Amino acid sequence: MLRSSKHILKYQTDYKNEQLVKLFEIYESELKFYIDLIISGKLPLKSVMSSKLIPNNLISHSNWKQNIYKMASQIIRLSIKK
């Protein structure tokens, strides 16, 4: 099942734009943090990992941590295959 949502950014305020940019910056730094931990061997390379085993850096919400870890592990796996 594919789920999608459409958002209109036409009425978005400057405050909301700033918050969205901050979210992307935090997501990027958290992704780099997990990639560094996986490369250094402090986190195992798995496809899915429990949020209790993933360390907190900037994001403490379990679903976000799992999604970011999953993306980090996919990035590393793709770079290993090449």
Taking only the tens place, the pLDDT of each residue in 60-81 is 888 888 999 999 999 999 988 7
- Long-range contacts for 60-67 (Cβ within 8 Å, ≥24 apart)? 64/30, 65/30
Q: Domain-by-domain residue ranges, the chain?
A: 14-81
| Contact between 66 and 48 (Cβ < 8 Å) | yes
pLDDT tens digits for range 2-40:
777 777 777 888 898 899 899 999 999 999 999 999 999
Task: Give 44 or 7, the one with higher predicted confidence.
Answer: 44
User: What pLDDT is attached to residue 82?
Assistant: 65
In single-letter form, the type of residue at position 6 comes to: K
